[in-house]
Amino acid sequence: MTDSSVRSHPPTVPAATSHVAVDRGSLFGTLVRLWPYIWPGDRADLKMRVVWAMVLLLIAKVATLAVPFTFKWAIDALSGENTSPLASADWTTWLIASPLILTASYGLMRVVMAVLTQWRDGIFAQVAMHAVRRLAYMTFVHMHELSLRFHLERKTGGLTRVLERGRTGIETIVRMVILQLVPTIIEVALLIGVLLWKFDWRYVLATVATVAVYMYFTYIATEWRIEIRRRMNDSDTQANTKAIDSLLNYETVKYFGAEHREAERYDRSMQRYERASVDTYTSLAWLNTGQAVIFTCGLTATMVMCAIGIRQGHNTIGDFVMINAMMIQLYQPLNFMGMVYREIKQAVIDIEKMFDVLARHPEVKDRLDATPLVVSSGAVRFEDVQFAYDPARPILKGLSFEVPAGKTVAIVGPSGAGKSTISRLLFRLYDVSGGRILIDGQDIRAVTQASLRAAIGMVPQDTVLFNDTIRYNIRYGRWNASDQEVEEAAALAQIDGFIRMSPKGYETEVGERGLKLSGGEKQRVAIARTILKGPPILLLDEATSALDSHTEKEIQDSLDRVSRDRTSLVIAHRLSTIVGADEIIVLDRGQIAERGRHAQLLAANGLYASMWNRQREAEEARERLAQTGDIDSPERAAPHLGDPLATPDAAE
Task: Please state, as a whole number, how many other Cβ atoms lie within 10 Å of the Cβ of residue 121.
Answer: 16
Least-confidence region, from 11-20, 190-199, 418-427: 11-20
Quick one: which of 356, 425, 427 has its CA closest to 385? 425
316 near 310, Cβ under 8 Å?
yes
Q: Is the pLDDT of residue 87 over 60?
A: no
pLDDT of residue 136: 79
Asked if residue 83 has pLDDT above 70, the reply is no
Mean pLDDT of all residues in 38-58: 85
Print the SS3 string covering 198-214: HCCHHHHHHHHHHHHHH
In the chain, the amino acid numbered 512 is E
Q: What does the DSSP assignment read for 522-538?
A: HHHHHHHHHHHH--SEE
Higher-scoring residue by pLDDT: 347, 444: 444
pLDDT digits (tens, 9 = 90+) for 605-650: 888 898 888 888 877 776 677 666 554 444 444 333 333 333 333 3
CA 94 to chain centre: 64
CATH superfamily of 380-455+535-641: P-loop containing nucleotide triphosphate hydrolases (3.40.50.300)
At residue 14, does pLDDT exceed 70? Answer: no
> Which stretch, 86-90, 442-446, 552-556, has highest mean pLDDT?
442-446
Among residues 212, 648, 149, the alpha carbon closest in space to that of 430 is found at: 149
Q: Tell me, what DSSP letter sits at residue 634?
A: G
CB 588 within 8 A of CB 428: no
| Residue 381 or 270, more confident | 381
pLDDT value at residue 16: 37
Strands 591-596 and 537-541: unpaired
Q: Would the pLDDT of 442 be above 90?
A: yes
- Residue range 23-359 forms a domain whose CATH class is mainly alpha
DSSP label at residue 589:
T
The answer to whether the Cα torsion of 440, 443, 448, 450 is positive or negative is positive
Dihedral sign of CA atoms 336, 337, 340, 342 in order: negative
- In contact, 375 and 440? CB cutoff 8 Å: yes
How large is the angle between the packed helices 44-78 and 92-145, nearest 10 degrees? Answer: 150
pLDDT classification of 445: cutoffs 50, 70, 90: very high
Quote the CA–CA distance of 569 and 403 in Å, as a whole number.
7
* 138 in Cβ contact with 170 (< 8 Å): no
What is the gyration radius of the CA atoms in the chain, in angstroms?
36
Q: Would you state the pLDDT for residue 4? A: 39
Listed ranges 182-196, 309-323, 592-606; the one with the highest mean pLDDT: 592-606
Q: Where are the domains of the chain?
A: 23-359, 380-455+535-641
Residue 395 DSSP one-character state: S
Least Cα distance to 364 among 304, 294, 453 occurs for 453
Mean pLDDT for the stretch of residues 516-525: 80
Q: Across all residues in the chain, what is the average pLDDT?
A: 78
What is the per-residue pLDDT across 141-155, written as a single tens digit (0 to 9) for each?
888 777 777 766 665
Which residues are within 8 A (CB) of 75 and not within 5 positions of it... i.e. 6 or more apart?
Answer: 316, 317, 318, 321
Maximum C-alpha span of the chain? 124
Domains 23-359 and 380-455+535-641 are alike in CATH topology: no
Cβ neighbours of residue 239 under 8 Å, at least 6 residues apart? Answer: 266, 269, 270, 272, 273
Which residues are paired to 569 by β-bridges? 409, 539
Confidence category of residue 264, pLDDT binned at 50, 70, 90: confident
By the 8 A CB rule, do 224 and 231 touch?
Answer: no
pLDDT digits (tens, 9 = 90+) for 550-603: 666 666 777 777 777 788 898 887 788 888 889 999 988 888 889 999 899 999
Task: Write phi, then psi, for 188 (nearest 5 degrees).
Answer: -65, -40
Helices (H) and strands (E) in the chain, counts: 20, 10
